[in-house]
Structure 1
Amino acid sequence: MTQLGDRRVPEGSNRAWWDERVPLHLASAFYDIDGFRAHPDVLRGFETAEVGDVTGLRLLHLQCHFGQDTLSWAYRGATVTGLDFSAPAIEAARALARELDLPARFVVADVYDAPEALAGETFDVVYTGIGALNWLPDLAGWADTVARLLAPGGFLYLAEVHPIQGVLDDDTGNAFVLDYFDHGPHVWEEEGSYADPDAETDANVTVEYHHTLGAVVSAVVGAGLLLESLQEHDFTMTDRFDTLVQGDDGLYRFPPGAPRVPLLFTLRAAKP
């Protein structure tokens, strides 16, 4: 991946990146759509344990991509809405919901426009999955949006890449190579995708942001939400570093005896 520094970025480059990768992701082994058709539940055990029973709850999934996690919550009994700024992703999510006969609503909108796009509707759970916050420039604005979307007594559940991951070297994961406190914007250029690194693609420039753990917590608390849980985990979903080893649970960790750093974190915060 090449960092482009202050080079001018075309308007809508992030949306173009995601739009182009929808068919690529649908065809990838990473997302395993055939496996999902057979058993439409890709939620991780730590997520379902920390969220709890969602039967009958109104759940909103922000930045839902083509809806695998969203539909997994529907499979577990929630009344779900998925929202994403990529129209091709939402079209694919709707098609997948129809195919699986799972009740779900999907809406095309930027995350910051969600309250207006949903006409002021509120939810029992607002869920945001792994790999979402790095696309958002304004974390305080995001947290305020979440607070507006929650019904009193509802809660935010966030499962996200730990910000430490983003500043370590790609090979070992043991050396700091970037500034932890450099928020960005960071402009990158790379072909392919995390789901298929060798794919040929045209929309390859993205703008991303680095949010420290303190910034995330401060934004959530600043929006008036009450922090209930903050967990740091020593595992992740992909072989982010060459030294990681996949366990029987499908998660990746540093090998036994190696120094560890947090790789994921989860946060739960309630609206009074």
Structure 2
Amino acid sequence: MGERAGPGDGAVANRAWWDERVPIHLASDYYDLDEFLAEPDVLRAFETAEVGDVNGARLLHLQCHIGLDTLSWAHRGATVTGLDFSGPAVDAAEALAAELALPARFVTADVYDAADVLAGETFDIVYTGIGALNWLPDVERWAGVVARLLAPGGFLYLAEIHPVQDVLDDESGSTFDLDYFDIGPIIWEEEGSYADPDAETDANVTVEYHHTLGSVVSAVAGAGLCLEFLHEHDCVPTQRFDTLVRGDDNLYRFPAGTPRVPLLYSLRASKP
């Protein structure tokens, strides 16, 4: 576990971390660009089922990183815009879109500035993928931005790491190590990346933020969006705990017959 951070914003340190890791991620087996270029669809089955048909829909992906999820939605027929605060990540996403000949627009901006940068443009779907909200200090402000970006009748779809993961021990994921209601922000200092733990890196400090499930749902409702569903899932894309077992769908779960906790959650909320 990292150290508890002070009240300062970690955006500068976090942006440096992500900027440096773009070439590492492009070269990694984790992202496996050769496979992606052959078949550009990395979305999880529950995501595509819960979002539904996107053909012709205007979709905005917030915090899109190198754009694999964004381009997967484009491959499925959506008219996509990806937004990320890392310039190198946006450059990489644009290069991948060109190589795949997929129509996609990518914008470099902080997520909190998205509505202003996009100058009042609205979308049918605002999508936020796994591992995004932990980089944002203010989830209520985020939800307000999402509401501004949605067209009437449009919806937010969020798939995210379940916050209960933050309080469990790293080895088994079966015991509570921290207070769910009193975590962070947390400063981490680690070399490498989740995509390549052995990579040599210089920008190694990040600040992450814990948002309870209740705080996220309340922020979405407080922004005037109508919750359609909240689902909890027993799977996760990475081996977060040593005991997790990889399945045929490339997602990790607790071994069969053992007690489980939710590892991901998803929600959909519409704008009246």
Give the TM-score normalised by structure 2. 0.97
Give 1:8 deviation, angstroms: 7.8
Structure 1 stretch 169-178 or stretch 147-156: which is displaced more?
Answer: 169-178
Q: Distance in 2 between matches of 1:217 and 1:52?
A: 21
Give 1:150 deviation, angstroms: 0.1
Paired letter, 1:236: V
> For residues 9 and 222 of structure 1, do their structure 2 counterparts lie closer, same or farther at Cα, with a shift above 3 Å needed?
closer
Q: Distance in 2 between matches of 1:93 and 1:10?
A: 24
Matches within 5 A, 1:186-205: 186-205=186-205
Paired letter, 2:78: A
Residue ranges of structure 1 left out of the alignment (5+ in a row) = none
Q: Distance in 2 between matches of 1:249 and 1:14?
A: 31
> For residues 8 and 113 of structure 1, do their structure 2 counterparts lie closer, same or farther at Cα, with a shift above 3 Å needed?
closer
Matches within 5 A, 1:1-272: 2-3=2-3, 5-6=5-6, 12-272=12-272
Residue ranges of structure 2 left out of the alignment (5+ in a row) = none
Cα displacement string for residues 4-57 of structure 1 (whole angstroms, at most 9, x for unaligned residues): 654988871000000000000000000000000000110110000000000000
Cα displacement string for residues 145-168 of structure 1 (whole angstroms, at most 9, x for unaligned residues): 000000000000000000011111
Give the TM-score normalised by structure 1. 0.97
Moved over 3 A (4+): 4-11
> For residues 67 and 243 of structure 1, do their structure 2 counterparts lie closer, same or farther at Cα, with a shift above 3 Å needed?
same
Give 1:185 deviation, angstroms: 1.6
Q: Distance in 1 between matches of 2:233 and 2:36?
A: 25
Contact preservation (8 Å) 1:71, 1:104: yes
> For residues 6 and 150 of structure 1, do their structure 2 counterparts lie closer, same or farther at Cα, with a shift above 3 Å needed?
closer
Identical residues among aligned pairs (%): 75
Q: Distance in 2 between matches of 1:142 and 1:132?
A: 11
Q: How many residues align?
A: 272
> For residues 18 and 168 of structure 1, do their structure 2 counterparts lie closer, same or farther at Cα, with a shift above 3 Å needed?
same
Give 1:109 deviation, angstroms: 0.3
Q: Distance in 1 between matches of 2:250 and 2:62?
A: 25
> For residues 9 and 211 of structure 1, do their structure 2 counterparts lie closer, same or farther at Cα, with a shift above 3 Å needed?
closer
Contact preservation (8 Å) 1:22, 1:88: yes
**What SS class does the counterpart of residue 163 from structure 2 fall into?**
coil
Q: Distance in 2 between matches of 1:231 and 1:5?
A: 31
